[in-house]
């Protein structure tokens, strides 16, 4: 039974809500358990054609020549689509919210940057005929040096994976090659700490493995419109992405989605819709493009791998006095959503603990791996895993119980977080206490009595003096604009942006933060509420 701790969360929830704690039938459950839910793949349209793509066999190579002569003559082939046929053959998903540069083609043109990158699409009468034609496409590759390691990728002289980002790192606000967090003087605190523990954590990519693979069916409709049945988990996002790539107004499309056979973040990348619609535009027939299982597993985007270094300074009494973190997100060959993951990761540092000196550098790095994308808590999950492993090791190092160690270091209401925001509604202490109680894990009385609402703030609310990094801050050029900006470029919609968590804080610095006045959005920067 769900227990709501009203003693802690009294002001947090409206008691008149009538859903929580009750068994409520999901609206789509009856269809799922009786096998009558309609998925995109259940639509069989008259005259429907099938699209398959030819994928790169190389992780990094220049495309010397693409020969489709035999494929064009193959039985049942209606149309061969190449990069030049895609109206805007360069896109990045978050350009819709003006974040990042267009860096990924729908079909590779000059070179391929990961094994499995689509190069040519073939539309044929049947799946089989499309497969037969794809086997007849001849591609002449000139292999290039490959990069599979995030730290190698950042070294000077490393091969360039994605020419849009020549230093193999995503560039934030047109200036910064990483997300940076500085709070206090971590190096000085590490020098005086009783113990210092530095550890390296390496994650692997994780496939979402949905039961239904990514796919879409696009069909010409009346008035020059197209109806699109899709597995997308982000319908409006996909509509706008297709409108951009195909260079038509978004009201050209009638997207029908709704039933997703497993998404978990793996169906936001809009990989199948643009080509299916383009196929329908070029042939005037309905076109179906669906990933095979192997395509889904091998070339569908995974959760990206992360490499994390944590260096902590801890005192004999168990207080963590400094935490220094370097994290590298392996974005694969293209950005997709990893740029955002790095932002979320930086925003999560140093975990739910009050640490007076925090130093964080988080990079979004390009390599010749399959592009990574969203997956449940991406940006935070792996970092949390690393931080909590580190917490256990630190507790062991100072000879403390790991639960008590967390309660000791947990943030409390009124504390200053490393982002210079006051911690509010914190409840880690209570969560640990409940977890200990449920697990019958003995903790000492003083830790049982600890509370998130006691002993916070005061000296814990002080923003420590933070030395500026020696490197001067480069000047920010004008923000990149796209046609998807809602306002014409001449209108300034907000005051000039401040860069993200500043390396050298602007002065004079307010002694106490003024809450509610302005909100820092990780993507847009500072914004009036």
Partner 1 sequence: MAVTVKTFASSNEAAAALSSDRAARYLGGGTLVMRALNEGDVSISTVVRTNDQTLTRIDASGPRITLGAGVTFARVLAERDLAFLHAPARSIGGPAVRNMGTVGGNLFAPNPYGDFTVALLALDATVAVQGGFGARDIPIEEFLQSRERQAGTLVLSVSCARPASAEAFRYRKIARIKPKGGSVITLAAHLPISGGRIAGARIALGSMAPTQIRARAAERALEGRILDAATIAAAASAASEGTSPSDNALGSAWYRREIVGVHLRRLLSGQE
CA distance 114 to 103: 14
Which residues from 14-73 bind partner 1, rule CB under 8 A?
A: 52
38-to-240, 262, 270, 291, 300 alpha-carbon distances in Å? 24, 14, 20, 18, 23
Minimum distance from residue 232 beta carbon to partner 1 (Å):
23
- Residue count of the chain: 529
Spell out where 179-305 has E strands.
179-183, 195-202, 215-220, 226-230, 253-256, 287-290
- Please report how close the Cβ of residue 129 comes to partner 1 at its closest, in angstroms: 8
Work out whether 128 is an interface residue with partner 1 (CB under 8 A): yes
Q: Which two tokens stand for residue 254?
A: 């009638």
Residue with smaller CB distance to partner 1, 54 or 347: 54
Asked if 135 interacts with partner 1 (CB under 8 A), we say yes
Q: Which stretch binds partner 1 (CB under 8 A): 65-73, 78-86, 120-128, 221-229?
A: 120-128
Candidates 131, 237, 385, 520; binder of partner 1 (CB under 8 A) is: 131
Closest to partner 1 by CB, 62 vs 293, is 293
Q: What is the DSSP string of 325-350?
A: EEEEEE-TTS-TTHHHHHHHHHHHTT
Residue in 221, 238, 278, 267 with CA at minimum distance from that of residue 89: 278
The CA distance from 297 to 288, in Å, is 19
Q: Is 293 in the site for partner 1 (CB under 8 A)?
A: yes
Q: In terms of CB distance, is 52 or 336 closer to partner 1? A: 52
- Which residues, other chains included, contact 440 with Cβ-Cβ below 8 Å and sequence gap of 6+? none
CB of 131 to partner 1, least distance (A): 4
**Closer residue to partner 1 (CB): 126 or 483:** 126
Cα 275 to Cα 83: distance, rounded to the nearest angstrom: 11
Residue 294 binds partner 1, judged by CB under 8 A: yes
Select 131 or 201, whichever has its Cβ closest to partner 1. 131
Of the listed pieces 128-136, 300-308, 320-328, 430-438, which binds partner 1 according to CB under 8 A?
128-136
- Least separation in angstroms between residue 294's CB and partner 1 is 5
The minimum distance between CB 80 and partner 1, in angstroms, equals 17
Cα–Cα distance between 447 and 428 in angstroms, integer? Answer: 12
**For partner 1, which is the closer residue by CB, 91 or 134?**
134
Closer to partner 1 by Cβ: residue 89 or 368 = 368
Using CB under 8 A, count the residues that bind partner 1.
13
Cβ proximity to partner 1: between 47 and 489 the closer is 47
132 binds partner 1 (CB under 8 A): yes
- Report if residue 75 touches partner 1, rule: CB under 8 A: yes
Quote the CA–CA distance of 260 and 17 in Å, as a whole number.
Answer: 28
Q: Which residues are bridge partners to 136 per DSSP?
A: none
Task: Identify whether the C-beta of residue 80 lies closer than 8 Å to the C-beta of residue 121.
Answer: yes
Strand arrangement of the beta sheet that strand 358-365 belongs to: 179-183, 358-365, 320-330, 306-314, 195-202
Residues lying near partner 1 in the complex (CB under 8 A) are found at 52, 75, 126-129, 131-132, 134-135, 292-294
């Amino acid at each position: 039974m769900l227990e709501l701790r009203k003693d802690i969360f009294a002001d947090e929830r409206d008691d008149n809500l009538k859903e929580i704690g009750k068994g409520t039938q999901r609206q789509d459950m009856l269809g799922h358990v009786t096998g009558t839910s309609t998925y995109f793949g259940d639509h069989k349209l008259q005259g429907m054609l099938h699209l398959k793509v030819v994928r790169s066999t190389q992780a990094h190579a220049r495309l010397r020549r693409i020969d489709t002569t035999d494929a064009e003559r193959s039985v049942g082939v209606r149309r061969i689509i190449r990069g030049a046929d895609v109206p805007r053959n360069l896109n990045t998903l978050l350009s819709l919210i003006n974040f990042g540069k267009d860096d990924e083609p729908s079909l590779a043109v000059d070179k391929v940057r990961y094994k499995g990158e689509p190069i040519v699409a073939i539309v044929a009468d049947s799946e089989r005929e499309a497969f037969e034609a794809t086997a007849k496409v001849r591609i002449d590759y000139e292999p290039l040096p490959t990069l599979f390691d995030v730290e190698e990728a950042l070294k000077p002289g490393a091969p360039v994976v994605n020419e849009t980002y020549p230093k193999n790192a995503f560039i934030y606000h047109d200036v910064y090659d990483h997300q940076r967090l500085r709070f206090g003087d971590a190096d000085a605190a590490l020098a005086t700490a009783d113990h210092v523990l530095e550890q390296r954590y390496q994650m692997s990519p994780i496939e979402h493995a949905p039961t239904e693979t990514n796919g879409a069916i696009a069909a010409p409709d009346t008035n020059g419109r197209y109806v699109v049945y899709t597995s997308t988990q982000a319908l409006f996002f996909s509509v706008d992405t297709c409108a951009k790539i195909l260079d038509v107004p978004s009201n050209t499309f009638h997207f029908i989605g709704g039933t997703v056979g497993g998404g978990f973040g793996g169906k936001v990348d809009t990989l199948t819709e643009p080509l299916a619609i383009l196929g329908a535009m070029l042939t005037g027939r309905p076109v179906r493009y669906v990933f095979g299982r192997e395509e889904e597993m091998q070339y569908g985007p995974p959760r990206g791998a992360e490499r994390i270094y944590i260096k902590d300074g801890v005192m004999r009494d168990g207080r963590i006095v400094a935490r220094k973190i370097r994290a590298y997100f392996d974005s694969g060959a293209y950005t997709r959503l990893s740029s955002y993951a790095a932002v979320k990761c930086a925003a999560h540092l140093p975990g739910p603990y009050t640490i007076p000196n925090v130093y964080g550098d988080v990079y979004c790095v390009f390599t010749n791996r399959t592009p990574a994308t969203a997956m449940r808590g991406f940006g935070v999950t792996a970092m949390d895993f690393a931080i909590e492993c580190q917490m256990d090791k630190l507790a062991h190092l100072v000879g403390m119980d790991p639960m008590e160690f967390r309660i000791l270091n947990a943030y409390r209401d009124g504390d200053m977080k490393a982002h210079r925001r006051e911690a509010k509604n914190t409840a880690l202490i209570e969560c640990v206490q409940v977890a200990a109680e449920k697990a019958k894990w003995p903790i000492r009385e003083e830790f049982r009595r600890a509370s998130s609402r006691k002993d916070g703030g005061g000296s814990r609310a002080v923003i420590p003096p933070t030395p500026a990094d020696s490197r001067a801050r480069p000047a920010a050029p004008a923000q990149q604009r796209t046609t998807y900006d809602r306002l014409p470029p001449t209108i300034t919609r907000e005051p000039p942006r401040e860069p993200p968590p500043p390396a050298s804080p602007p002065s004079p610095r307010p002694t106490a933060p003024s809450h509610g006045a302005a909100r820092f959005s990780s993507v847009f920067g500072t914004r009036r509420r």
